[in-house]
Amino acid sequence: MQWVQHNKIWAGAAALILIGAYAFYFVNSNIAVSMFSYAWFLAVPLVLGAMVGVMGERSGVVNIGIEGQMLVGAFAGFFAAAATQSVVIGVIAGALSGIAMGAFLAFSTVVGQLDQIIAGVVINIVATGITSFYFESGKTIPRGLPNFDVPLLSDIPLIGPVFFSDGPIALFALIIAFTLHFMLFKTRWGLRTRAVGEYPSAADTAGINVVALRLFNVTVAGTLAGLAGTYLSMEATSTFERNMSSGRGFLALAILIFGAWRPLRALAAALFFGFMQSLASQLQASDVVNIPQQFINLLPYVLTLVVLAAAAGRVRAPGAVGQPFVKGD
């Protein structure tokens, strides 16, 4: 209830969208389920990527390397699964690769004081180079991650087949958004994270280990980026392609800003992005309007520019985001 009171516009928009979705569902349930399922399919890596940004930037560390972390996660997950013929090992490898990239970003920026933007660019360049150099065509995995139905929840009209009849990483993305929101605003870790991201010197004076908290947040957040990549290569598809992340990491940053660095708002923003692309694809398939495929491919990036322009001056980033911390300064 408190969340609704503090987010009246978002809550009202969510209610209107839900009413519209169910109205559409009762008119044509098959098309409605198909459209919203595809929207969620597109939104999953964006949700996970945005959560990576929330954990890092709320503690004061900018992460523009989400794109590279996703790409390495997709690569490591797929090729580990192909080598061992085990999707479980593939998921573990994807998550571990994300942790490794997160640890590099964390230690290079928090301990090594490397410029955070430069560190993120380095991750993106290295990820593109490594995955392209070691890419091998013809690799296969036994099967992708299977879908499963969550008992009772999967029977809910529209919501059930869209969110609760899906693969494990997609379900995890939904759970982590709500969990992270709760942790950020209702736990000691969340209070300390927000304090470090806003006033690190004051947090340090209060006895909070700023360096340790930033290292922890950015490194652990890498797990989510790795899983986002694993989703692309092992759940959304069963293959790996060069540059498979296709700008999703940068879209996740736009969603993070649009969502005002709040997990549930970022979840809603990711669903909006996914729905707009799903709607364009559906309109093209139904021949209602003649939409060139190039426009559909361009749509997420156009939306990104629109969202960033609309958000300019309306949302406030954490006060110390991007600023290195030196104890005693």
Mind listing the pLDDT tens digit for each residue in 150-207?
999 999 998 999 999 999 999 999 999 999 999 999 999 999 999 999 999 999 999 9
pLDDT at 306: 77
Place of tokens 């104890």: 327
Q: Is the dihedral of CA 70, 246, 239, 273 positive or negative?
A: positive
User: Which residue from 38, 47, 98 is spatially nearest to 251, judged by alpha carbons?
Assistant: 47
Average pLDDT over the chain reads 88
User: Which residue from 208, 173, 175 is spatially nearest to 60, judged by alpha carbons?
Assistant: 208
Distance (Å, rounded) from C-alpha 29 to C-alpha 32?
5
pLDDT at 292: 72
Asked if 119 and 61 count as a contact pair (C-beta separation under 8 A), the reply is no
The answer to whether residue 283 sits within a structural domain is: no
The answer to whether residue 322 sits within a structural domain is: no
Whether residue 307 is predicted with pLDDT greater than 90 in this model: the reply is no
Distance (Å, rounded) from C-alpha 301 to C-alpha 292?
15
Q: Which amino acid is present at 212?
A: A
| SS3 assignment, position 244 | coil
Reported as a pLDDT band with limits 50, 70 and 90, residue 110 is very high
Tens digits of per-residue pLDDT, 37-60? 999 999 999 999 999 999 999 999
pLDDT at 329: 61
The answer to whether residue 142 sits within a structural domain is: yes
- Average pLDDT (309-313) is 69
Distance (Å, rounded) from C-alpha 9 to C-alpha 132?
44
Give the DSSP letter of residue 315: S
Distance (Å, rounded) from C-alpha 273 to C-alpha 313?
21
Count CB atoms within 10 A of the CB of residue 17: 14
Q: Which amino acid is present at 166?
A: D
- Average pLDDT (77-83) is 93
Tens digits of per-residue pLDDT, 225-279? 999 999 999 999 889 998 999 899 999 999 999 899 999 999 998 998 888 888 7
For residue 134, give its domain range. 38-249
Q: Which helix (H) or strand (E) holds 149?
A: strand 148-149
Whether residue 29 is predicted with pLDDT greater than 70 in this model: the reply is yes
Whether residue 35 is predicted with pLDDT greater than 60 in this model: the reply is yes
pLDDT at 9: 62
pLDDT at 8: 64
The answer to whether residue 72 sits within a structural domain is: yes
Give the DSSP letter of residue 155: G
Give the residue, 201 or 282, on which the prediction is more confident: 201
Reported as a pLDDT band with limits 50, 70 and 90, residue 288 is low
Number of domains in the chain: 1
Q: Which amino acid is present at 17?
A: I
The answer to whether residue 328 sits within a structural domain is: no
The answer to whether residue 324 sits within a structural domain is: no
The answer to whether residue 269 sits within a structural domain is: no
Distance (Å, rounded) from C-alpha 311 to C-alpha 309?
6
User: CA angle, 302 as apex, 238 and 311 as ends, to 5°?
Assistant: 110
The answer to whether residue 281 sits within a structural domain is: no
Distance (Å, rounded) from C-alpha 267 to C-alpha 277?
16
